Chain A
Amino acid sequence: MGQMRIMGIEGDNKMTWDPEKLVETKAVKKHFENHVNNPDKKKRFMAFYVDKEGKQGKKMDVFDPKAGMIILVPPIAGG
């Protein structure tokens, strides 16, 4: 089972899907695309995935249904 966590005002919104089921995968992919490829750069999220072994975060630009846990992070800015 894949898992995508989209950070939000009320905490992260969790989406799960079965990679074998195309409909579920397409729905999650649509959410991924909407956030990561948002036409407005100021609203564009960054996507990371965390492998279960090392739990090291890795950046991803294209949706991978077989990634362990995808985390969508809102725009980061310097202070």
Chain B
Amino acid sequence: MLSMRHSHKQCTSVFNTGPISDQRRGNGLLTTAGLLNGIFGEGPDLHVARWESIKVTDRFEETDENEVTTIRERERFTQSLTLVYADGTTSILDERSREP
């Protein structure tokens, strides 16, 4: 008899109860796939959330000793969250709006 494949063995799943919206590498897939869009909260915190993936361009300027300026531009994707609260408050949260 063939042994059971490892992937089919019964195992106990352990779920991490940490905050799922913590910004880490890989969370972008969860957010931009639409899994965190919708209605959340209750009472004064009731809101509709919408995540999106946006492209940003980082611009670097370097000047060497001969006073030649080199401009480098690097494009990358980042996530942005738009919120609308039940009381009419709206906000757009992205890396530019992050507090220092």
Chains A and B belong together in one complex: no
B residues near A (Cβ < 8 Å) are: none
